[in-house]
Amino acid sequence: MRLRLKIALWLERWRRHNLKELHPLRQLFWESTLRCNVHCLHCGSDCIASIETPDMPAEDFLKVIDTEVTPHVDPHEVMIVISGGEPLMRKDLAEVGRALKQRGYPWGMVTNGLALTEKKFHELLDAGLRSITVSCDGLEADHVWLRQHPLAFEGATRAIKLIADYNSRQHSAVSRQHSAVSRQHLAVSRQPIAWDVVTCVNQRTIDHLPAIREMLWELGVRNWRVFGIDPMGRAAENPELILMDAQFKQLMDYIVCEREAGRHVSYSCEGYLGDYEGRVRDHLYQCAAGISVASILIDGSISACTSIRGKYYQGNIYKDSFWSVWENGFKPYRDRSWMRQTEPCKDCKAFSFCEGNGMHLRREDGSLMLCHLKKLSAVSRQHSDIA
């Protein structure tokens, strides 16, 4: 490993240590519904219980915001992420968004785009939507296969174009703001929105990445986030979805190439990547779950990222004080030394930097379901064996 990178990782470790002590709440996920209009083969939230599980009433969530969160934070510094299921399945999404905006919280959402009509998009913008991610998992045939809906690709690309066109118009307005008239116009018009496209790369799509990138850029995308699918939820039953070790390395090398060409392609936040750190993301690896990220799940459970196993839930808003849980709970998240006792972390020299990989990759029994570094190391070993 490069010396500069090693020093950077040590400094990052120090920063993370401080951050654990501070544990400022910066991102709050709300699993607002388990209902969904597609049936993804890789669904991490495993929305099987969607029919039986009702949406959380908006007033329950807003009550937590008002009584437990707002008194302790600057709302402008806490991003609320409305997740699902598919958030657009909620009819009151704009109402909730408006309520958050009135309280000063920026909010955003992740969507498959299928239900994002122009009217709905503008309704959400008026309600304070500040950030949106659209899922697009490949070219048409692969996306439809993964999403299990014949119109999934049409929906995703229509949504992408809608957002790209909107942002293009807003950026143009910003660039004209030198005139007093335009400034006045801007004061009443909307701002550009932060957005990107996220892609789950799998065995079917790994060789199509350049074509997918070209298609997305043609639609106006300039921020593209990719990740491999983890063996959880429905994906655990479908090995074709999980990248082989060599394919995972292929993905890393592809991202490096794109970034060197000046295109903003990133690997998602998950997974310590060894020598690829600093080359495939805008930041060094850290799992912020329970340190600056919390979530309120559909049944009121208090957790961090929404895909974390039930064993690590820290409380429930219907029984516990959210803020008390945030301040005094989350011990296994903020002190991860227990992961040192698990395989394959026991004798791993990278543990200081990785700290046991992401919390969402820990099974109920504490073991790690996926080590990104091990995947990359396996390929290097194969290469050296051949040599």
Partner 1 sequence: MKKKALLRINVLLGAASLALAGCHSSKPVPQTPKDENPSDTTKVQPVKPDPEVYVKYGIPPAFNLYE
Please name the residue ranges forming H helices in 135-277. Answer: 140-147, 152-175, 180-188, 209-219, 245-260
* Residue 112 binds partner 1 (CB under 8 A): no
Which position among 69, 132, 294, 371 is part of the footprint of partner 1 (CB under 8 A)?
A: 132
Shortest distance, position 387 Cβ to partner 1, whole Å: 28
Scored b (16 or more CB within 10 A) or e, 342-375 reads: eeebeebebbebbbbbbbbbbeeebebebbbbeb
- Alpha-carbon distance of 82 to 85, in angstroms, equals 10
Q: Which is nearer to partner 1, 206 or 305 (CB)?
A: 305
**Contact, 205 vs 244, CB < 8 A?**
no
Of the listed pieces 202-210, 236-244, 285-293, 311-319, which binds partner 1 according to CB under 8 A? 285-293
**Contact, 249 vs 276, CB < 8 A?**
no
Which position among 67, 168, 189, 337 is part of the footprint of partner 1 (CB under 8 A)?
A: 168
Between β-strands 79-83 and 301-303, what pairing exists: parallel, antiparallel or unpaired?
Answer: unpaired
Q: Which two tokens stand for residue 301?
A: 């459970």
Residue 365 carries which DSSP code?
T
What sign has the CA pseudo-torsion 12, 17, 19, 23?
Answer: positive
Of the listed pieces 48-56, 280-288, 324-332, 366-374, which binds partner 1 according to CB under 8 A? 280-288
Residue 66 carries which DSSP code?
I
- Contacts of partner 1 in 63-82 (CB under 8 A): 76, 79, 81
Q: Coil, strand or helix: which one is 95?
A: helix
- Contacts of partner 1 in 138-167 (CB under 8 A): 164-165, 167
* Residue 259 binds partner 1 (CB under 8 A): yes
- Contacts of partner 1 in 348-367 (CB under 8 A): 358, 360
Q: How many helices (H) and strands (E) does the chain have?
A: 13, 10
What element of type H or E holds 121? helix 118-126
Burial class (CB in 10 A: 0-12, 13-18, 19+), 324: exposed
* Residue 47 binds partner 1 (CB under 8 A): no
* Residue 303 binds partner 1 (CB under 8 A): no
- Alpha-carbon distance of 305 to 111, in angstroms, equals 17
* Residue 118 binds partner 1 (CB under 8 A): no
Which position among 56, 73, 109, 370 is part of the footprint of partner 1 (CB under 8 A)?
A: 109
Which position among 41, 89, 284, 339 is part of the footprint of partner 1 (CB under 8 A)?
A: 284
Q: Which is nearer to partner 1, 25 or 56 (CB)?
A: 25
* Residue 26 binds partner 1 (CB under 8 A): yes
Which position among 112, 205, 292, 301 is part of the footprint of partner 1 (CB under 8 A)?
A: 292
* Residue 44 binds partner 1 (CB under 8 A): yes
Which position among 53, 142, 220, 377 is part of the footprint of partner 1 (CB under 8 A)?
A: 220
Shortest distance, position 240 Cβ to partner 1, whole Å: 21
* Residue 199 binds partner 1 (CB under 8 A): no
Which has the closest alpha carbon to 45: 65, 25, 29? 29
* Residue 333 binds partner 1 (CB under 8 A): no
Shortest distance, position 8 Cβ to partner 1, whole Å: 4
Q: Coil, strand or helix: which one is 51?
A: coil
Of the listed pieces 101-109, 317-325, 362-370, 377-385, which binds partner 1 according to CB under 8 A? 101-109
Of the listed pieces 51-59, 116-124, 193-201, 336-344, which binds partner 1 according to CB under 8 A? 193-201
Beta bridge partners of 81: 29, 108
Shortest distance, position 241 Cβ to partner 1, whole Å: 16
Shortest distance, position 139 Cβ to partner 1, whole Å: 21
* Residue 233 binds partner 1 (CB under 8 A): no
* Residue 22 binds partner 1 (CB under 8 A): yes
